Amino acid sequence: MKNLRLKAARAGMDMSQDDLAKICEVSRQTISSIEKGDYNPTINLCIRICKALNKTLDELFWE
Amino acid sequence: MNAQGFGFVTGIIVGLILVVILFKFANTNNKIKTEYDERQEKVRGKGYMYAFYTALIVQAILVLSSVCKIEIPVEDYILHFAGILAGCLTLGIYCTWHNVYWGLNNDHRRYGLVFVVAIIINILAIAGPAMNGMLFEENGKIGLPALNIMVIFMLSVIGIAYLLKKAVDAKKDTEEED
């Protein structure tokens, strides 16, 4: 299932996938896979993404 | 160890040292090891599994061909590399097709350069014996140049897979934007 909330939060902060990937120290393809719902990130990566986007885990990853 | 064996081992050691230097050159932080994120590590783990199975299958085919006395016009010591290279090829294609073509500390341009240089070095290694008519050994089998041919084939297929994947991704991105 696509993670549209992550995509919206990233776009809301005017960040590209590449920008977010650099902050979270992952590849751009990994961010793309998470947004497409092709990859379930570990809790550590979820936290890094949330910190980068100033969001909570609930806001971005909880169903 | 005879002179040929000594030369072969020396060649492999020099080759390995060269590979280490090239990796150091191709990574942005001068580390030999490429760094990957958690998704990439996961994909690579599966890639190694398929590479292992491929190497097993190729080795089994080679054993069968030997038992069935099927003549392959390549020296036996070179045939042992077939399994290793087939495994590397499987890993390369699997990782490329699952978006793990660049590590976190790879310099893309330098890696491309290393790739091209590796292909050229291998072509040059075959060109000499081919021009002198020394590609085949006295028993009619291909010796060391067969290894270069296999490496060129492996690098070319991985390169083509990378270009194809990039084209497919570019098309997908355009469709998503639409």
pLDDT (tens digit, 9 = 90+) per residue, B29-57?
888 888 999 999 999 999 999 999 999 99
Given this model, what pLDDT does residue B177 score?
54
CB A52 within 8 A of CB A23: yes
**Spatial separation of the C-alpha atoms in residues B148 and B133, rounded to whole Å:** 16
The b/e string for B135-161 (b: 16+ C-beta within 10 A; e otherwise) is beeeeebbbbbbbbbbbbebbeebbeb
Average pLDDT, stretch B50-79?
Answer: 91
Judged against a pLDDT cut of 80, whether residue B175 lies above it is answered with no
Q: Is CATH 1.10.260.40 the classification given to domain A4-54?
A: yes
Q: Kindly state whether B29 is in contact with chain A, defined as any CB-CB distance less than 8 angstroms.
A: no
| Burial class of residue A27 (count of CB atoms within 10 Å of its CB; 0-12, 13-18, 19+) | buried
Per-residue pLDDT of chain A (63 residues; tens, 9 = 90+): 788 899 999 999 999 999 999 999 999 999 999 999 999 999 999 999 999 999 999 999 987
| Whether residue B77 has pLDDT greater than 60 | yes
Q: Which of B28, B42, B99 is most worth mutating to test chain A (most A CB atoms within 10 A of its CB)?
A: B99
For chain B, the DSSP string reads: --HHHHHHHHHHHHHHHHHHHHHHHHBTTS-SSPP--HHHHHHHHHHHHHHHHHHHHHHHHHHHHHHTT---SB-HHHHHHHHHHHHHHHHHHHHHHTT-SS-TTB-HHHHHHHHHHHHHHHHHHHHHHHHTT-SB-TTS-B-THHHHHHHHHHHHHHHHHHHHHHHHHHHHHHHHH-
Give pTM, 2 decimals.
Answer: 0.85
Q: What are B160's two structure tokens?
A: 């083509």
| Chain A residues with beta carbon closer than 8 angstroms to that of B38 | 26, 30, 41-42, 44-45
Angle at B93 between CA B126 and CA B96, to 5 degrees: 120
Residues β-bridged to residue B142: B74, B136
- Residues B124-157: pLDDT tens digits? 988 888 888 777 877 778 878 888 899 999 999 9
Residues B81 and B153 sit within 8 Å (Cβ to Cβ): no
Which pair of structure tokens corresponds to residue A51?
A: 């910190």
**The pLDDT of residue B24 is above 80:** yes
What is the interface pTM, i.e. ipTM, of the complex? 0.90
Residue B148: name the closest of B137, B135, B163 by CA: B135
The tokens for A58 are 């609930």
* Best mutation target, B28, B35, B38, B39, to test chain A (most A CBs within 10 A): B39
Residues 16..55 of A with a Cβ closer than 8 Å to B: which?
Answer: 25-27, 29-30, 32-33, 39, 41-42, 44-45
pLDDT of residue B130: 83
- Closest-approach residue (CA) in chain B for A31: B39
Residue type, B30: N
- Domain ranges within chain B, ordered by starting residue: 42-165
DSSP annotation of A56 = -
Most confident of B6-20, B58-72, B83-97: B83-97
Total residue length of chain B: 178
pLDDT at residue B101 in the model:
84
Say if residues B73 and B146 touch (Cβ distance below 8 Å).
no
pLDDT at residue B174 above 80?
A: no
